[in-house]
Amino acid sequence: MRVIAGSRKGHTIAAPHGLDTRPTSDRVRESIFNLVGPVDGASALDLYAGSGALGIEALSRGARRAVFVERDVDAARTIERNLDRLRLTGARVVRGDALATLAQEAAAARKYDLVLVDPPYGMYPSLQSQLARLLPPVLGADGLLVVETDARVEPELPLTLRTSRRYGSVRVTLFEGMP
């Protein structure tokens, strides 16, 4: 994997070993950020971060800060190593459950301009109701939420749908925050 654009364009990103993490492909990441548009100065929240590829891409493209949430210890270490190797600043890695962290962020009234949600594909249907409750409070006014799922899944959240696109076996759905 490599960073697609921005200050770290072309640099490689390591992925955790094993089959538990499914990094977003370069092609899908590029498509996501083409849909999102400029992220200069944005604050990003990368849930189920895995290798951190989505949040790293946001930082490389000018996001001011990014919080990476990953439960798997090896994956979290990989994110930290990627951030160190790429010398990206403004990042924080949270080792913990994405829903619990999301609930804490909502309770603390923290807002994000860009929220990236990429859980293991098989988990999304069981997570959708909790995500529907927890995501809207953390999405800033005019913020964007990106949900990556299996292509057969169509996320339904209480936010304005901007677009939903299929890329092979992957679906990328964008929602808008309430102004």
What are the structural domains of the chain? 26-176 (3.40.50.150)
Q: What pLDDT score does 121 carry?
A: 84
Closest CA relative to residue 84, chosen from 177, 164, 161, 8: 8
Compute the Cα dihedral for 14, 167, 38, 110 and give only its sign. Answer: negative
Q: What pLDDT score does 16 carry?
A: 77
pTM of the model: 0.93
Specify the 3-state DSSP secondary structure of 108: coil
Q: What pLDDT score does 150 carry?
A: 92
Query: What is the pLDDT tens value at each position of the chain, 179 positions in all?
Result: 777 888 787 788 888 765 455 667 778 889 999 999 999 999 999 999 998 999 999 999 999 999 999 999 999 999 999 999 999 989 999 999 999 999 999 999 999 999 999 998 889 999 999 999 999 999 998 999 999 999 999 999 999 999 999 999 999 999 998 76
Q: What pLDDT score does 21 carry?
A: 53
How far is Cα 88 from Cα 70, in angstroms, rounded to an integer?
18
- Token digits of residue 22: 């499914």
Q: What pLDDT score does 45 carry?
A: 98
Strand partners, 145: 115, 175
